[in-house]
Structure 1
Amino acid sequence: MLYLTDDLGLLPFFLPFGIIGFYRYLWYFIKVAAWLVYRPRLPKANPTYTGEKDVTIIVPTIDAGEEFKIAARSWLACKPKEIIIITETKMRGPLQDLANEVDPARIKVLTVPKANKRLQMVEGINACTTEIIVFSDDDAIWKPTMLDYILACFEDLKMGGVGTSQTVHAVDPKGRQTLWEILAGFRLTSRNIEIAASTHIDGGICCLSGRTAAYRTLILKDPAFQYCFTNDLWLGKYPLNSGDDKFLTRWMVSHGWNTYAQICKEAELYSTFKNNWRFIKQVLRWTRNTWRSDFRSLFMERYIWRRHPFVAFTMLDKIFNPLTLLAGPILVGVFASLQEKRAGPTNPPLPAWNIAISYIIWLLLTRFIKLIPHFLKRPQDIWVLPAWLVFNYYFAIMKIYALFTLHEVGWGTRAGVGTELAANIGKEVPEDHVKIEMTAVHSEREEEQRNENPFYSIADQQVSQMGVDGSFAPPTSHHHQQQQQPLL
């Protein structure tokens, strides 16, 4: 191709794009190499933390169904101390019935006045009495070893958040996956490789996925965190309800806490995805959240550049990815047109169909190589590869559309959810119902954890005493002084 291009005098035009292509594949092979040498952290024989004493699972939901019972039984198999379900008031009855069917002794149901995921999460946080919180989706099915591998990471006193490996659980009881679910599986394969690579290279993660992620309770009980979490606005005016996992991940980075992703079979969860066209709506919501969060990480907060430069460059690469991807077929079309015009007796033009088929085969081959880990597990999904190629280009266009619609903050798949600020809902009810304040969690280990964290200032002591209304309250005897850097 380069020979033909040079023959036609088009090399100066195409060479820059060849360099971009070389860079992108080099970047991908770096990620694959890091993924291959990555290793998860293994549980100790005598761990500092155990599920029975130190873990509360918090599950914000509004419409849990039969899949909840399957998921809840898998959580209980990991032996947590408690499971807290938080829903809106009108759904308390159905959720309590589900909880009673599974284990009424260890599953508690709490409510908030309106469906708002961040408010529900804060309600669960403030009801927690253990040192580790694990957030989970109501359909996330765990392996029995999940908690052991999550807790292994918290042996590091600077560890703030831990993520997990993910795969698709079919909605169909017979296990048959639709095209949409297989596409979701392809995305998860790419994600697992990416976060394993970034964890190995610089310890960073683009996002601790909310499907299942664990955090130290003391971080989340900090009033400064809860205030920012429930008063999160995009451009100062659009309330954010989704994107909670992105916020939590950025908070770990900006406040000096380490993160880790346990990418292994023992820490793998199974999650359902929309098995029809509504999957596209899910992807659109996730894409908007990614744009907002990446802009904040790269250009507003900027901690990511110093703490996790590989993750920062990965985010930057994704910004330009839609343009470079869409430029490919356009340039191939330009080449096909120009080479016909400049052809002569000594260099006859290639047929347009020849160029098009060669390009499509190349694209399919590169996509196949990137998905080899998936096909080793599920070779029957190979038939979806052409659809995956089409989806890649559709997704590139969607990313550009999402960039220009970041003001749309609704949930997308849930009508009326996600359009109101969490803190405003909290103010509509008595103070003792949803209280954004810090409660006592006394332990020598927590004091050690704070002392190990170098991100500390006198201002943090004041911010940690800030309530949801932004006012300052005098410290009480049970208010620990959090050693965290305020979020900019």
Structure 2
Amino acid sequence: MLYLTSDDFPIFVPFGVIGFYRYLWYIFRIIASVTYRPVPLPENPTYVASEDVTIIVPTIDAGEEFKEAANSWLAGNPKEIIIITEEKMLIPLQELANAVDPDRIRVLTVPFANKRLQMAHGIKNTTTDIIVFADDDAIWPPTLLPYVLACFEDQKVGGVGTSQRVQPVGESMTVWEVLAAFRLTIRNIEISSSTHIDGGLPCLSGRTAAYRTVILKDPEFLHGFTHDFWLGKYQLNSGDDKFLTRWMVSHGWSTYVQCCKEAELLSTMKPNWRFLKQVLRWTRNTWRSDLRSLFMERYIWTTHPYVAYTMVDKLFNPLTLLVGPCLVGYLIWKSTFPVADGGYHLPWWNIILSYFVWLLATRTAKLLPHLWHTPSHIIYVPAFILFGYYFAIMKLYALFTLHETAWGTRAGIGDPTKATAATDAGGIGVSVVQEKVYFDAPNSPTPYSARQLPYQHPAVQMQSPYAPQAAYGGQIAYAR
């Protein structure tokens, strides 16, 4: 590449600076990820899964993969699993629950398939200290719950996430699943590094995340969670994990991610082109949430400045990624002119070949943490390169279609606005006025750090069966 640019060096300086910055930044993240350490198990844990954990699973499916996932959750010995579904799925899911463990699995229904309303209904029926949300295809190791609960020994931690890997749907991964696996590897590096650097992260993934029940029982949270609108008029159904993460930040709660084999879950991805629709939905959610965090709520700037910086970096990522192809196109155009007339001195095929070799080398280096464990996936690096450029264009498309809030990959998910209105009218929805008698929450976010410790959350008085055993505002069990 230096030879290619030797006679037009000034033209390439800005592009070289961009490339140097991006890979220096990636090396910095790798170093932070390598030096990150998960929270160890405490000798005398405050929280025990069999007494303090309820797993909430919003779903509209009842396939065999659900049974496999449910068995993996039960291996962690939670007190209860609550499945929330739409009314027409009650019988098949109840039969599934009866076949797996009728004593510890409860099936509840809501009138409409709406993930946020389903989650809220599960929250209102929980009586334990810790809630763990899980996707219906998330497969856990038996050690996941103890490692997640270890983070809650720090009484300032309100939410905990885990690392993830892709579970193939068939006997071997399709190219779409490999692309998803590449993305998860990069994500694991990002969340472990950001957690290590400033204790924050862009998102506690909804595939599996644990929260203190006192936070989620707050009627202000429940109302905001189920009445979340983009630009005041487009109600959101997906993006629940983004909302939860922002709520942790804006209300002064810390978060942590357990990136270790003992807490690493397996999750299926779409094994076909529908994976692209998943990515589009996630990308829209990321745009909406990051713009809110950076420019509307703005807590992220002072609480987690490193995470704020990564969010800003991602805003410009599509443009910086498309710089390369634009430059190559410019050089190919110049190569059509004679050198004496200002044309480029190399033929078009040489330019394309050199650029492709450069891409292979740099993208392979970026994927080395994944390829180290699965070297056979190296044949998919060219597909990852093509996907990267597609993703850059799709990210720009997503930015201009943020009003599109449909789920995209699941049949049966209706209009969230109609579902919320009908549910509220039926008395099942979350009404702040109705629940004020149980919980007198503050109207404005008060950062946890600004409260006088020890702080007693009023949510512990919400329901008579809900009696947390841990002393909130207690001493920090570990430091990071």
Q: Same fold (TM over 0.5)?
A: yes
Distance 1:177 1:262, change over 3 A: same
Letter in 2 for 1:425: A
Q: Which runs of 4+ in 1 moved over 2 A?
A: 1-7, 10-14, 335-348, 433-441, 450-457, 475-480
| Shift of residue 426, structure 1, vs aligned partner | 2.3
| Pairwise CA distance, 1:477 | 10
Displacement of 1:237 in angstroms is 0.2
Could you say what secondary structure the match of 1:227 adopts? helix
**Aligned-pair CA distance for 1:340:** 5.8
Q: Is the 8 A contact 2:424 2:431 kept in 1?
A: no
What is residue 143 of structure 1 aligned with on the other side? Answer: 141
What amino acid does structure 2 have at the position aligned with 1:367? Answer: R
Query: Under a length normalisation based on structure 2, what TM-score does the superposition of the two structures give?
Result: 0.89
The answer to whether the aligner puts 1:429 opposite 2:413 as a matched pair is: no
With the length of structure 1 as denominator, give the TM-score of the two structures: 0.88
- Corresponding residue for residue 170 of structure 1: 168
Q: Give yes or no for contact 1:59–1:83 (8 Å, CA) kept in 2.
A: yes
Partner of 2:122: 124
Alignment-derived partner of residue 87 in structure 1: 85
State the one-letter code of the partner of 1:130: T
Q: Please name the residue that 1:359 is paired with.
A: 355
Q: How does 1:165-204 map to 2 (within 5 A)?
A: 165-172=163-170, 175-204=171-200
Aligned to 2:449: 454
- Range that drifts further, 79-88 or 410-419: 410-419
* CA contact 2:253–2:447 (8 Å) conserved in 1: no
2:370 is the alignment partner of 1:374: yes
- Paired letter, 2:319: L
Give the whole-Å Cα distance in 1 for the aligned partners of 2:160 and 2:72.
19
Aligned: 1:306 with 2:298: no
Alignment match, 2:18? 20
C-alpha distance after superposition, 1:385-412 (max 9, x if no partner): 1111111111111101111110000000
Q: Is the 8 A contact 2:293 2:299 kept in 1?
A: yes
**Deviation of 1:367 (Å):** 1.1
- Structure 2 alignment gaps of length 5 or more: 440-444, 474-480
Letter in 1 for 2:88: K
Which residue matches 1:205?
201
Q: CA RMSD in A?
A: 2.8
Which moves more between the two structures, 11-20 or 141-150? 11-20
Secondary structure in 1 aligned to 2:185? Answer: helix
Aligned length: 455
**C-alpha spacing 1:416/1:102, structure 2 compared with 1 (3 Å):** closer
Alignment of 1:58-457 (within 5 A): 58-172=56-170, 175-338=171-334, 341=337, 343-344=339-340, 349-415=345-411, 417=413, 419-421=415-417, 423-431=420-428, 437=435, 453-456=448-451
| Cα distance, 1:438–1:34 mapped onto 2, change above 3 Å | farther
Q: Tell me the amino acid that sits aligned with residue 205 of structure 1.
A: L
User: 1:165-198 CA distances to partner (integer Å, 9 max, x unpaired)?
Assistant: 10011111xx311111111100100000000000
Compared CA separation, residues 339 and 51, structure 1 to 2 (3 A): same
Distance in 1 (alpha carbons) for counterparts of 2:216 and 2:343? 68
Cα distance between partner residues in 1 of 2:382 and 2:361: 10
Query: Any conservation in 1 of the 2:199–2:254 contact (CA below 8 Å)?
Result: yes
Question: Which stretch shifts more, 404-413 or 17-26?
Answer: 17-26
Q: How far apart are 1:44 and its partner, in Å?
A: 0.8
Q: Which runs of 5+ in 1 are unaligned?
A: 442-449, 466-474, 484-488
The equivalent residue for 2:53 is 55
Alignment identity in percent?
A: 64
Cα pair 2:219 2:430 within 8 Å, conserved: no
| Paired letter, 1:78 | G
Contact 1:242 1:418 in 2 (8 A): no
Q: Note if contact 2:86-2:112 (Cα within 8 Å) is conserved in structure 1.
A: yes
AA in 2 matched with 1:227: H
For the Cα contact (< 8 Å) 2:331–2:344, is it kept in 1? no
Superposed, 1:36-51 pairs within 5 Å as 36-51=34-49
Displacement of 1:12: 3.1
Shift of 1:355: 1.6
The residue aligned with 2:477 is: none
